[in-house]
């Protein structure tokens, strides 16, 4: 089979990020990417208000009686804090605020702005060889099977950009093959289509996320594709050769997948 050396960008974050937002789905409506960005603070205001008492009156976000939550989150995002199982109990309110307020969206925007600026600069490389709570599987599965996870608007913006410039998006998700139909339906309902590959975990695979995702990237590379970029909300989306020419880490203080 002859295959062109086509630039692709692995976009593993979409499903996971959508899932991570969607715990709050009843309050966050995503009519359009643009409107959602403006509306998100208003939409979640009552919930934020409800969370406020959890934060204490000192203004120190959840730092009393435990780790300082902003420092913990920085450690998570910088991959200094590893193999964590749950958000520290005293940080529930802090993380709730972070996710439902504008902060998570602002942090995501910075990442996606960088990814889009990178895509904008790709044509040069295109002609120069490219420079060479405890996790509950039962309830989370039930949620996945609803197929209602909202797309992260920033990710959608990048996705459309990739299609526009001819980069072929590939999703590599830890979801299992039996969830293909619901995942495809969910993505389409959120305006996401036209990907090259949607790779789900095959039955019987019990290795780590890093070994699974890097092996799938290797298959793409071996098939002649150039991985120009790789974006994910988990470090296990990004680590492991071949990583791709550039990686982007989306924020996710909700869970850790090794």
Ligand X SMILES: *[C@@H]1O[C@H](CO)[C@@H](O)[C@H](O)[C@H]1NC(C)=O
Residue numbers of the site for ligand X (CB under 6 A)?
Answer: 136, 138-139, 197, 219-220, 223
- Identify which of residues 71 and 136 has a Cβ nearer to ligand X in the complex: 136
Q: Work out how close the CB of 37 gets to ligand X at its nearest, in angstroms, rounded to a whole number.
A: 32
Residue 113 CB contacts under 8 Å (≥ 6 apart), including other chains: none
The token pair at 225 is: 């594709």
Q: Work out how close the CB of 223 gets to ligand X at its nearest, in angstroms, rounded to a whole number.
A: 4
- Identify which of residues 63 and 173 has a Cβ nearer to ligand X in the complex: 173
- Identify which of residues 139 and 189 has a Cβ nearer to ligand X in the complex: 139
- Identify which of residues 2 and 117 has a Cβ nearer to ligand X in the complex: 2
Nearest residue to ligand X by CB is 219
Q: Work out how close the CB of 113 gets to ligand X at its nearest, in angstroms, rounded to a whole number.
A: 29
Q: Work out how close the CB of 214 gets to ligand X at its nearest, in angstroms, rounded to a whole number.
A: 12
- Identify which of residues 114 and 221 has a Cβ nearer to ligand X in the complex: 221
Q: Work out how close the CB of 59 gets to ligand X at its nearest, in angstroms, rounded to a whole number.
A: 33
The token pair at 217 is: 């990237």
């Amino acid at each position: 089979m002859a295959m062109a050396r086509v630039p692709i960008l692995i976009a593993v974050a979409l499903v996971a990020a959508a899932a991570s937002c969607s715990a709050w789905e009843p309050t966050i409506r995503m009519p359009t990417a643009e409107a959602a960005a403006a509306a998100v603070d208003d939409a979640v205001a009552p919930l934020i208000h409800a969370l406020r008492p959890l934060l204490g009156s000192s203004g120190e976000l959840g730092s009393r009686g435990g780790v300082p939550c902003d420092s913990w989150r920085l450690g998570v995002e910088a991959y200094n804090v590893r193999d964590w199982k749950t958000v520290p109990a005293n940080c529930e309110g802090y993380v709730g605020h972070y996710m439902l307020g504008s902060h998570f969206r602002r942090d995501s925007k910075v990442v996606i702005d960088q990814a889009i600026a990178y895509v904008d600069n790709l044509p040069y490389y295109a002609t120069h060889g490219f420079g060479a709570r405890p996790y509950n599987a039962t309830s989370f599965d039930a949620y996945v099977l609803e197929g209602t996870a909202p797309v992260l608007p920033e990710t959608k913006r990048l996705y459309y950009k990739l299609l526009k410039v001819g980069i072929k998006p590939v999703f590599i998700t830890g979801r299992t093959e039996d969830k293909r139909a619901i995942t495809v339906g969910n993505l389409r309902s959120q305006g996401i289509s036209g990907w090259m590959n949607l790779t789900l975990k095959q039955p019987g695979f019990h290795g780590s996320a890093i070994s699974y995702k890097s092996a799938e990237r290797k298959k793409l590379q071996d098939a002649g594709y150039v991985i120009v970029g790789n974006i994910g909300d988990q470090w296990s989306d990004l680590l492991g050769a071949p990583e791709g020419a550039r990686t982007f880490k989306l924020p996710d203080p909700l869970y850790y997948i090794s």
